[in-house]
């Protein structure tokens, strides 16, 4: 059995590092039909699901667990959740319904899903618990009105270390305190991640040391992007420039665009600039092969050439201060993120009925729809068929 399941808390007072557990227990004790559901929100691995399991075990409740991503529309929610919320437990004991990752029903392709869930919350004979990463996601605006919000924060380092120490003791494993500290710090408040990492290096052993952490390929998660650029641009040591990126949690594709943007800012000799861009173009080939062939081994070559090649393109280190600018591409993506997401949702909805790709819809169907919209009758039929909102129509016309 996985350690995250083996050492899942059996009682509410065993839930690690969350002061709001008492708020959750109070909500349950005071819950009555037609009362609000509980919406537990917070980052991954902080105990959102575990606390519901602990409550069910402690109160001897039947737990009905569902994942919102498996319920893509109103009819699916009504059929699965609706029935559970009205039927008595098989063994005539209490019942609690858990809908995990409620963010999964809030997209445009799930039209009616939030409304159906709201209706079930109001009519349920049993308490309903929802979990989400961010309760204030605009897509959950309506649902929030019918929920009591309970926030779970990242687990404190000392609490993570204490839990890891307990697990080691239970498993009969001798562990260096520094190892537990490193695992705890690297988890970023994610207890589940910390337990998984401990299991990865400790299972089947009686003793673990700092040397064993190398098997996890540990990275410094707080590595600043400007520090990465400094090493790549300021050193001629290939190994250092490659390791600085490998030992960080930064997306190599994002670093690629930062390097592309800042080569002319750092290098003054045009021959060095040209050489750096030559290496970057080769790295770009491997970057595209990763995407096209889905072969992630090419990512290693991309990083090696991108970082090492750019580093050795200069004759010697520039000792000037360089203000590294964010890539225009990333700034553009940031400003158009909302519109691109909306277009993607429209395409996803249409592709289910048209059985063609999103690219074909954008290239062939959107231009045709602009023409058809000139006829009120056709426009009305298209709106009804694809459930287009006013914002959707505006977006299609502007494309």
- Judged against a pLDDT cut of 80, whether residue 297 lies above it is answered with no
Instruction: Provide the pLDDT for residue 362.
Output: 79
Tokens of 11: 């009682």
Q: Residue 355: which domain range? A: 336-398
Mean pLDDT of the chain: 82
89 in any annotated domain: yes
* Most confidently predicted of 158-162, 203-207, 389-393: 158-162
Q: Which of 71-75, 179-183, 206-210, 369-373 has the lowest mean pLDDT?
A: 71-75
What's the pLDDT tens digit per position in 201-224? 887 788 988 887 776 655 444 456
Last residue of a domain, one of 128, 151, 174: 151
282 pLDDT tier (thresholds 50, 70, 90)? very high
- Kindly tell me if the per-residue pLDDT of 240 is higher than 70: yes
- What CATH number is given to the structural domain containing 173? 1.10.8.60
The closest of 41, 36, 44, 54 to 151, measured between CA atoms, is 41
Choose the final residue of a domain: 267, 296, 326: 326
Nearest CA-CA partner of 215 in 193, 239, 191, 199: 199
Question: Is residue 29 domain-shared with residue 143, that is, in the same domain?
Answer: yes
| Best-predicted range by mean pLDDT (52-56, 134-138, 216-220) | 52-56
Q: Residues 151-157: what's their mean pLDDT?
A: 88
- 211 and 85 in a common domain: no
Structure tokens at 113: 């899903």
147 and 11 within one domain: yes
Residues 193 and 241 in one domain: no
Is residue 43 in a domain? yes
Round to whole Å and give the CA distance between 264 and 334. 23
The pTM of the full predicted model, rounded to 2 decimals, is 0.54
Question: Do residues 10 and 135 both lie within one domain?
Answer: yes
**pLDDT exceeds cutoff 80 at 253:** yes
The tally of domains found in the chain comes to 4
* Cα distance from N-terminal residue to C-terminal residue, the chain: 52
Q: Over range 75-82, report the average pLDDT.
A: 60
pLDDT at 323: 82
Claim to verify: residue 78 and residue 14 sit in the same structural domain: yes
Q: What is the DSSP string of 204-271?
A: T-SEE-GGGGGGGT--BTT--HHHHHHHHHH---HHHHHHHHHTB---HHHHHHHHHHHHHHH--SHH
The last residue of one of the domains, among 106, 121, 151, is 151
What are the phi and psi torsion angles at 41 (to 5°)? Answer: -130, 155
Instruction: With respect to residue 393, please indicate whether it lies within any of the assigned structural domains.
Output: yes
Do 146 and 167 share a structural domain? no
pLDDT of residue 71: 55
DSSP letters spanning 271-334: HHHHHHHHHHHHHHHHHHHHHHH--TTHHHHHHIIIIIIHHTTSSS---S---PPPPHHHHHHH
Two tokens, residue 385: 């068929």
What value does the mean pLDDT take over residues 244-256? 80
Mean pLDDT of 66-79: 60
pLDDT at residue 252 greater than cutoff 60: yes
| Mean pLDDT comparison of 208-212, 247-251, 273-277, highest-scoring range | 273-277
Based on the fold, state whether residues 350 and 302 are members of the same structural domain: no
pLDDT over threshold 50, residue 108: no
> How confident is the model over 305-331, as pLDDT tens digits?
999 999 999 988 877 778 888 887 655
Say yes or no: 147 and 8 in one domain: yes
> How, if at all, do strands 37-41 and 128-132 pair?
parallel
Does 331 fall in a domain? no
Query: 14 and 109: one domain?
Result: yes
Q: What is the pLDDT of residue 102?
A: 83
3-state secondary structure of 90: coil
- Look at residue 399 in the predicted model and tell me its pLDDT: 65
pLDDT band at 149 (very low <50, low <70, confident <90, very high): very high
How far from the centroid of its chain's Cα atoms is residue 212's Cα?
A: 28
Averaged over 66-78, what is the pLDDT?
A: 60
Residues 131 and 180 in one domain: no
DSSP letter for 172, please: T
Same domain, yes or no: 9 and 147: yes
**pLDDT, tens only, 336-354:** 555 667 777 888 888 878 8
**For residue 157, how many other CB atoms are within 10 A of its CB?**
17
């Amino acid at each position: 059995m996985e350690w995250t399941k083996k050492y899942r808390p059996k009682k509410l007072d065993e839930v690690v590092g969350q002061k709001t557990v008492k708020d959750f227990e109070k909500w349950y004790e005071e819950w009555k039909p037609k009362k609000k559901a509980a919406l537990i929100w917070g980052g991954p691995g902080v105990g959102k699901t575990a606390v519901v399991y602990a409550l069910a075990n402690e109160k001897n409740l039947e737990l009905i667990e569902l994942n919102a991503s498996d319920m893509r529309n109103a009819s699916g929610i009504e059929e699965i959740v609706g029935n559970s919320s009205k039927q008595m437990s098989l063994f005539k004991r209490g019942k609690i319904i858990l809908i995990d990752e409620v963010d999964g029903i809030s997209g445009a392709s799930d039209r009616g899903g939030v409304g159906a869930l709201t209706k079930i919350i109001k009519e349920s004979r049993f308490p309903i618990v929802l979990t989400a990463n961010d309760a204030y996601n605009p897509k959950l605006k309506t649902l929030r009105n019918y929920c009591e919000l309970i926030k779970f924060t990242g687990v404190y380092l000392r609490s993570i270390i204490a839990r890891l120490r307990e697990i080691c003791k239970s498993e009969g494993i001798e562990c260096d305190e520094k190892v537990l500290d490193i695992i705890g710090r690297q988890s970023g408040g994610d207890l589940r991640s910390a337990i998984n990492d401990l299991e990865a290096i400790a299972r089947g052993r009686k003793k673990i040391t700092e040397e064993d952490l190398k098997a996890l390929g540990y990275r410094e998660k707080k590595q600043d992007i400007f520090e990465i650029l400094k090493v790549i641009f300021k050193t001629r040591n290939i190994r250092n420039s490659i390791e600085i990126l490998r030992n960080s949690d930064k997306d190599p594709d994002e670093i690629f665009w930062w390097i592309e943007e800042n080569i002319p800012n750092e290098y003054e000799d045009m021959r060095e600039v040209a050489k750096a861009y030559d290496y970057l173009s080769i790295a770009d080939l491997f970057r595209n092969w990763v995407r096209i062939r889905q072969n992630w081994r090419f990512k290693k070559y991309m990083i090696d050439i991108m970082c090492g090649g750019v580093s050795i393109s200069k004759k010697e280190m520039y000792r000037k201060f360089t203000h590294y600018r964010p890539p225009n591409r990333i700034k553009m993506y940031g400003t158009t993120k909302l519109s691109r997401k909306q277009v993607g949702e429209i395409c996803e909805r249409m592709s289910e009925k048209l059985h063609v790709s999103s690219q074909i819809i954008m290239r062939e169907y959107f231009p045709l729809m602009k023409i058809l919209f000139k006829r009120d009758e056709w426009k009305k039929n298209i709106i009804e068929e694809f459930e287009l909102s006013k914002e959707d129509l505006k977006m299609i016309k502007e494309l």
